[in-house]
């Protein structure tokens, strides 16, 4: 029944969402020569990308199939409406999205709809055998149930047997039908080998630049924190001790007061150094691993949080660090923007990837998209994506208006 419900939902998305978006896209592109399409095409294509991104997320959640996007990044402030529209239309991924809309509203919807159809037809056949055949035959004699002509109790019994067979078939093939739908989706949306190689090169190049920029910014932050915090405390402590040397015989009481101040300065400097080290690499992460580090994060949140960890080992330290700070940023976003009452964090390792989900019951409205141009709003999610991209990881966000919000992260790695 779960597979049938998923198939029905996928069919509705195809027959309603894909049809509407394809019509809007075709009309909008056709209006480009008269200028109207320059205004309408970019937002319509962003809707198409969001619709495709939602299907990729469902593919990962319902069938464990990862479908990459492969959209080219839109440079910030692309050259006006015409430039933005041109860049989006020259992106091969845009035309894959539009082709997928056509496939999704036809073959994709048919595949998905077959799952609930088997259930409905099977139940109807059983109902015919249970007595529904009488009014049905009274209205139409004979009534054809598939290839069985129902004209009386005997043929209604055959329809019931056929219905039971359909129900048994549905139990066996419905999950496969949903998986086949996502295979078809992946076959259209997934870039070809050349496109994947080009995307990977671009992504690794961008990730390298991001990593260098982030590293330089982090070094500047550490230098600033040391200069403004611990270093200032230590300098003040040295001055106090120098004064103590001059006063220890002339004014012991004043010397004791300065020693107390120096002790306070040393304690504050130690606290600031510990905070600085925790910001670089939290001790709990190094000592106890990602699961306990995320639990410690959750305990410090001002809202209720549940953490589920299913990890059979530990990833390499750089991967754990990236995952930890990505979760930390996602939790901070949920607390700051979502107005949530409950946050759930799930960590697992399947299919050679570390998978993390941060979900909240807040108001939703978060906008996700990759640097690949699907319109990421907010530096928090952009920072998470850059951090994951360094390790060839991916970020997906589902956040309809009114909530709930689900942030899914995946980093290819092995556990040891």
**CA distance linking residue 375 with residue 105, whole number of Å:** 25
Choose among 147, 145, 146, 141: nearest CA to 128.
145
> What is the distance of C-alpha 193 from the center of its chain?
24
From CA 124, how far away is CA 100, in angstroms rounded? 33
Taking alpha carbons only, the member of 318, 310, 320, 319 closest to residue 288 is 320
Tens-digit pLDDT profile for residues 214-263: 556 656 666 665 665 566 667 767 776 777 777 777 788 887 787 887 77
Cα gap 185→96, rounded to integer Å: 10
Walk along the chain (416 residues) and give the pLDDT tens digit of each residue. 788 888 899 999 999 999 999 999 999 999 988 888 888 888 899 899 889 988 988 888 888 888 877 776 665 555 567 778 888 888 888 899 999 999 999 999 999 999 999 999 989 888 888 888 788 877 887 888 888 888 888 888 888 899 899 888 888 888 999 999 999 998 888 876 665 566 666 666 665 666 556 556 656 666 665 665 566 667 767 776 777 777 777 788 887 787 887 777 777 767 666 665 555 566 778 788 899 989 988 888 888 899 999 998 888 888 888 888 889 888 888 888 878 889 999 999 988 899 999 999 888 776 654 333 333 344 467 778 777 877 778 888 888 777 788 888 999 888 88
Cβ(54)–Cβ(17) below 8 Å = no
**DSSP secondary structure of 187-251:** HHHS--HHHHHHHHHHHHHHHHHHHHHHHHHHHHHHHHHIIIIIHHHHHHHHHHHHHHHHHTTT-
Per DSSP bridges, beta strands 394-398 and 342-350 are unpaired
Angle at 406 between CA 339 and CA 54, to 5 degrees: 130
pTM: 0.52
Q: Which two three-digit tokens encode residue 367?
A: 């906008």
Structure tokens at 131: 């007595």
- pLDDT digits 0-9 by tens, 158-175: 888 998 998 888 888 889
> HSE of 203 in the Cβ direction (CA atoms, 13 Å)?
25
CA dist 3 and 5 (Å) reads 5
**Host H or E run for residue 170:** helix 153-189
3-state secondary structure of 308: strand
Distance CA 134, CA 116 (A): 25
Three-state SS for 309? strand
> Residues of 275-306 as b/e, b for ≥16 C-beta within 10 angstroms?
eeeeeeebebbeeebbbebbbbbbeeeebebe
Q: Residues with Cβ < 8 Å from 64, sequence gap 6 or more?
A: 350, 351
Identify the H or E element spanning 408: strand 405-412
């Amino acid at each position: 029944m779960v597979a049938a419900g998923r198939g029905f939902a996928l069919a509705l998305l195809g027959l309603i969402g894909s049809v509407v978006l394809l019509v809007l896209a075709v009309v909008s592109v056709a209006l480009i020569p008269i200028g109207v399409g320059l205004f309408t095409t970019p937002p319509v294509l962003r809707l198409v990308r969001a619709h495709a991104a939602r299907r990729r997320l469902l593919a990962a959640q319902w069938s464990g199939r990862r479908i990459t996007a492969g959209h080219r990044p839109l440079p910030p402030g692309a050259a006006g409406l015409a430039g933005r529209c041109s860049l989006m239309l020259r992106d091969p991924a845009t035309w894959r999205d539009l082709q997928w809309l056509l496939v999704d509203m036809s073959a994709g919807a048919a595949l998905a709809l077959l799952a609930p159809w088997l259930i409905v037809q099977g139940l109807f056949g059983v109902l015919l055998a249970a007595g529904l055949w009488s009014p049905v035959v009274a209205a139409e004699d004979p009534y054809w149930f598939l290839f069985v002509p129902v004209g009386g109790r005997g043929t209604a019994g055959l329809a019931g047997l056929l219905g039971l067979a359909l129900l048994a078939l549905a139990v066996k093939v419905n999950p496969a039908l949903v998986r086949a739908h996502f295979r078809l989706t992946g076959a259209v949306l997934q870039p070809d080998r050349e496109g994947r190689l080009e995307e990977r090169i671009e992504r690794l190049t961008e990730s390298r630049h991001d990593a260098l920029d982030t590293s330089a910014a982090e070094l500047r932050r550490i230098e600033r924190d040391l200069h403004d915090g611990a270093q200032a405390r230590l300098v003040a402590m040295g001055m106090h001790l120098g004064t103590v040397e001059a006063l220890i015989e002339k004014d012991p009481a004043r010397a004791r007061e300065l020693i107390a101040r120096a002790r306070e300065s040393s304690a504050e400097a130690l606290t600031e150094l510990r905070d600085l080290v925790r910001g670089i690499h939290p001790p709990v992460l190094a000592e106890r691993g990602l699961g306990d580090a995320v639990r410690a994060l959750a305990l410090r949140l001002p809202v209720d949080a549940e953490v589920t960890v299913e990890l059979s080992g530990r990833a390499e330290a750089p991967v754990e660090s990236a995952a930890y700070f990505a979760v930390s940023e996602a939790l901070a976003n949920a607390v700051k923007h979502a107005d949530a009452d409950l946050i759930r964090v799930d960590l697992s390792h399947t299919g050679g990837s570390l998978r993390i989900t941060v979900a909240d019951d807040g108001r939703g409205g978060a906008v996700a998209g990759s640097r690949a141009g699907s319109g990421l709003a907010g530096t928090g999610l952009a920072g998470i994506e850059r951090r994951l991209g360094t390790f060839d990881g991916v970020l997906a966000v589902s956040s309809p208006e009114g909530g709930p919000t689900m942030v899914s992260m995946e980093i290819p790695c092995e556990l040891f």
